Amino acid sequence: MAGKYTDIVDIVAPSNAVAGEEVPVTVRVKN
């Protein structure tokens, strides 16, 4: 659920990401 002041418009994660594995995640937010 997005915060009151932040709308998450896109979440990009590596396609080879494995659950529980630390991977770089890019989150773009609308300001």
pTM for the predicted model, two decimal places: 0.16
Rounded to the nearest 10°, the torsion over CA 24, 27, 6, 21 is -30
**Is the pLDDT assigned to residue 1 strictly greater than 60?**
no
Averaged pLDDT for residues 7-31: 64
Counting the structural domains of the chain, the total is: 1
**Hey, what amino acid is at 17?**
A
> Which residue range(s) make up the domain with 16?
1-31
> What mean pLDDT is reported for the chain?
63
Question: How many whole angstroms separate alpha carbon 3 and alpha carbon 31?
Answer: 12
**Is the pLDDT assigned to residue 29 strictly greater than 60?**
yes
**Is the pLDDT assigned to residue 24 strictly greater than 70?**
no
Tokens 């997005």, located at residue = 2
* The token pair that represents 18 in the structure block: 């494995």
Residue 29, number of CB atoms within 10 A of its CB: 13
Averaged pLDDT for residues 5-18: 60
Nearest of 10, 4, 3 to residue 25 by alpha carbon: 10
